[in-house]
Amino acid sequence: MESIQSALKQWSQDNNKFQQRLNEARNSLLADPIVKKALDQVSVTDEMLEQGLIKLYELQKELHHCHDCPGLSNCPNMMRGYQPELMVTRKALDLRYHPCSLKTNEESARKQRQLIKSLYVPKDILKATFDRLDRDHEREEASRKALAFALGANPGEDGQGLYFYGKFGVGKTHLMGAVANELRDRGIETYIVYTPDFFREMKSSIGDGTFQEKIDMVKKAQVLILDDIGAETISGWIRDDVLGAILQHRMLENLPTLFTSNYDYDELEDHLSYSERGGIEELKAKRIMERIKHFTTFVNVEGANRRSR
């Protein structure tokens, strides 16, 4: 009999300790700033709170992962790239999951790559940053202007862009990659488009019905970089209905456009005045160039050909 009483007493003590640990865990959970913030945004009763502790534990765990985000590829959440939001459903606490900004950006980039193949650029360009650029005297001014643009760009308010002119291989596209990566870090949507491939793709998109969707995406990008303009075979349709339409929209909406080219302003105007049929349309070329000149700052990129090293 004494052994039974001793066992019951021990069980009672263990149960009290267990209950104490549960209360401590509950209080710690409800005191967590992340959980408190979530609860402040919904209306809950004490009963809903007690019955919804499991949901709150899940919320706490997942949002702490997000707070100390290790990157999308290493996301430890139950659904990679998704984060929970506390809500009330049928008078009970529940969680709704939605994609985080990294997941949204990944999905957006995937759709862009599927839609416009000419958005593909070399991996070394995608990794370009200002702190990795070659620090030489010849490109100092160009690097300084590129960085100033990247740090101060304000799409929708200021539509002023840059026109990088220079010979083959001096690093114009690499500078633009650094600009795009800095803008990305600031949360500014930026497209780098290799212009010759883009114009060819726009011509073929007439047949598959994707022309309007493609041109709208490029027209409305917060910052657009047209790489190697002038290297394409020009036609009146490409110049007026594609390039002209893109630049007109971006000019009206104060969306900056940046260019790289082996042609200066005058040489590009000559290039745009010719069509594939051999005609010369100087007036139409001047209209395009007036938009480019008025909304860009000319930057001469000098230096040796880095591709031959």
- 3: confidence class by pLDDT, cuts 50, 70, 90: low
- Ranges for all domains in the chain classified under CATH 3.40.50.300: 116-308
Query: 115 pLDDT exceeds 60?
Result: no
Percent pLDDT > 70 in the chain is 86
CA distances from 51 to 26, 55, 202, 221 (A): 12, 9, 57, 47
- 159: confidence class by pLDDT, cuts 50, 70, 90: very high
d(CA 182, CA 161): 15
* Fold exhibited by the domain 116-308: Rossmann fold (3.40.50)
pLDDT (mean) for 31-46? 88
Nearest to 179 by CA among 125, 250, 254: 125
CB distance 163 to 259 below 8 Å: yes
- 15: confidence class by pLDDT, cuts 50, 70, 90: low
pLDDT (mean) for 85-111? 87
d(CA 120, CA 297): 26
| Per-residue pLDDT tens over the stretch 188-239 | 888 888 999 899 888 888 888 888 988 998 999 999 999 999 988 888 899 9
d(CA 116, CA 94): 40
Question: What pLDDT was estimated at residue 298?
Answer: 96
Question: What pLDDT was estimated at residue 116?
Answer: 43
